Structure formats: structure tokens, C-alpha cells
Chains A and B, each alone.
Chain A
Amino acid sequence: MWTVATVMLAAAWSLAAITPPDEAAEAAFPVAVTPGEPAVGRAFAVTVTAPRISEGVTGTSVQQSGARWSAPGIWLVVEIEAAARASDDGALLNRADLQVGGRTFSPSDRPRSMHRVALVTDVPQAGTLAYELPADILGDPGAEAAMLRLALDFDVRLDSVLELPLDLTSLPLEQDAVVRAPAWSGS
């Protein structure tokens, strides 16, 4: 009697232990990104190159119709080339978040950049994504395991997410990196 009860208890406990959490039913589908190699998600493909930390950035202003713009501070700057696949209906690069430790950063809306760019089917556009970061970001314990996540929809449940792990502390350091607006990449 006791052995049967113990066996049943052990079985129930292990079943509870291996059951996935509720969120697993809606989890996103991660796709690993290698810098320099194209990564393919649902309905879009992205190549990420040259991630770097820059003190100060320059570019063209969104608010002032393309006037020269610059800003001080610590920024993460990354070049991307992106195109839609099969259809460009509603294909905007809506989510391009940087996760560092417990904090999430979105690309800055201040310079013209690949932030929320409208993707065109099989015609790649190249440009820069720039993230305005707090001054103490390189001292954040999560800076060595930061993650860049790219997706078409802001809601990534049950959708593919392109993930690029970044070690912010070992990225090249630059001054006044140029944030490039989207342009046809010609490749």
C-alpha cells in the first residue's frame, strides 16, 4: 500500500516537474543570428554587421527634415540589411529590441535609421540601428549577455524572432559613429 502510494506520488511530482509553463504555449520561435550571415525569419531576412559602442553619434534628424544631427552619450550602433520575403504586405521592422539584464531598449526615434523601416520583398535596404543607452550600461551585470531581438510584429508570441547575442563590454569602441538612413543596398 505504502509503496504504491510512494510510486504514485513520485510519478505525480515528476509530471509536474516536466510540464512546460503556461507561457510555453505562446512562446516565440527564436532564430539565431550570426553577424555577417543572413538570418531568415517569417517573411523577412536580415543581415547584421558591425555592432559597436559609440560615444556620441551623428546622422540626420527625423524631426528637422534631414538636417544634420548629433547627440552625446553612450550608444550601441549596428548595421543591418533587411528585406521582406514572399510579400511586403505589412512588413515593417516593428521590433528591434536590445535586452540588457532586466532592461529593454528600443532603437532611438531621434535620427533617421532602420527603426520601423518598411521592408520591400527581396530588395534589401541597408542602414543603421542606434540605441541610446544609460551612461552606466557597460557596468550592468547583463551587459555581457545582451540580446538583440528583431521581429516584424511587436507582439512576438508564436512568431519568429531573430536573436543576436552581444557582449557589450567586448564590442569595439568608436567616437561619433554615423547613423545611416535606409538606402537601397545594391547587392
Chain B
Amino acid sequence: MSTPEKAAPPEASAAGATVGPVQRRASVFDTLRKASDRVPTKWFAAIGTGVFLAATAAFGGLNPVAAEIEAPRALVAGDIHVNEQFAITVQRAVLIDDLREAGVAPAPGTRALVLIATVTNVWDEPQGTAGIDSLGRLIAVDGLGSAEPTGIARMDDQTFLPRLQPDVPVELAIAWRVDAGAFTAGDEITVVLHDQTLYTGSTVLSGRYWADRDVGARVALEIADVGAGTDAAS
């Protein structure tokens, strides 16, 4: 192995006068070749593995990416929950015979479970309270399955299914139709508030939409029974 190396320099210097730049480039590769010739072949695998591991250390190692999952917050009445769409404060829960203004007309054997909540749209576009990408998709009550509210109305002027403007706080009555015996005064219920993620459509979709519903918070409330109600939605 050493004989070709000793032979190379005399040949290179003999041709030195006419091939100057070529000779410089060749000697860089020659140096590399000579250096790698000195390393035992079986070491290359170990060296390659070491270089690869060292390179991954620059990017956080080989650990799988730790998903950022926060446990849902446990809240009580009056606590505010903020996600990317709305800031919601559930004030109280009442049981009432009916709430026409919020879409629960009187019917035998059923009552209305109503949450009074202060909601602010914290996104940059108006959002509705019913339908896709709306507040109705984000509020559920444990014990009613995943039923969306029967109806939502503003407390101040009874507007049904209002559209919420950005950064304007509104007090809402959110009503579900429930069986008359399902809840009683003093029962504790859990209101589940969901969070969604904003996606921007590309290629085949246009516009922005919300998806990936996760539980963001659970609010524990005690139900008050107002019977038939006096001035129901105020």
C-alpha cells in the first residue's frame, strides 16, 4: 500500500511546470484519499453512526416529538375560558319550564336547561352561534351526550342565533330541551367547553375554517330551578 504513495509525488513534481492548478486540486483529493486509506475499513460504520448521531443532536436528538396536550382546565361558575375563537364565562345554570326566545317552546314532559354566559368573539371575523364554525359546536353539557344547544339568544334583545362581532362582549342564554325529570335544583352539572384549531385551505380549499375539536375546559355548576320563570330571558 505504501509503494503507490511514494511513487505518486515524484510523478506529480515531474509534471509540475505545465499543470500547476490541476496539480493543486489533485493534491487535495490525494490528501483525502491518503487519510481515508489510513483508517481501517471496519471503522467506517462506527464513524458514520457517530457522525449521524452527532448531527441529530443538533435537531433535538432521536426522541419522538412530544405532543403538547394540556389537560382540560377545571373551572367554576364565573371563571373565564379563552380559546382562539371565543372567550366564554359561564355565569350560572337554570332550569325553567320553557324559553321560547331561545328556541325551547313549551312541550309536555320537557323543560329547558339554560346556561347564562358572557361570550366575546376573540377572532378577527364575525362568528355565528349555530351551524359549522359556531359557538354552538363548542358548548356541551355532560349528561346530554354531545347534543348541541337547542337554541341560543341574546339576553338584552332576545335576538335568536345572533352573529357575534369581534371583540364585542355579549350575554347569551344557551338552552337545551331536557326531559322534565332529568335534572333537579341543586344538581351539579359539568359544562364542557371545546377548543378548535384554525386551518387555512390550500390547493383545493379556499378560506379559513376551524377543525380538531378538543376539550378545553370543564365548568362545574349548580343548577337553580326558576319554575316557570318570571321575565324569562332578562
Contacts and interface: CB of A to CB of B under 8 A. Distances in A.
Contacts of A110: 154, 157, 159, 162
A108 B156 CA distance: 14
Contacts of A73: 168
A63 B126 contact: no
B156 A71 contact: yes
Q: Is the interface of B mostly helix, strand, loop or mixed?
A: loop
A61 B166 contact: no
Interface residues of B, number: 18
B157 A69 contact: yes
A105 interface: yes
A132 B168 contact: yes
Contacts of B126: 104-106
B179 interface: no
Contacts, number: 49
B206 interface: yes
B153 to A, nearest CB: 8
What is the interface residue range for chain A against chain B? 20 to 34
Contacts of B158: 63-64
Contacts of A157: 206
Contacts of A133: 165, 168
Nearest to B161: A109
A51 B162 CA distance: 24
B225 interface: no
A26 interface: yes
Contacts of B163: 106, 109
Interface string A108-120: 1110000000000
Interface string B141-153: 0000000000001
B206 A104 contact: no
Nearest to B203: A22
A61 B157 contact: yes
A103 B157 contact: no
B125 interface: yes
Contacts of B133: none
B124 interface: yes
A62 interface: yes
B171 interface: no
A153 to B, nearest CB: 13
Interface string A55-94: 0000001111000010101000000000000000000000
22 contacts: A61-B157, A62-B159, A63-B158, A64-B157, A64-B158, A69-B157, A71-B156, A73-B168, A103-B125, A103-B167, A104-B124, A104-B126, A105-B165, A109-B162, A110-B154, A110-B159, A110-B162, A133-B165, A134-B165, A134-B166, A134-B168, A136-B167
Interface of A: 26, 61-64, 69, 71, 73, 102-106, 108-110, 131-134, 136, 157
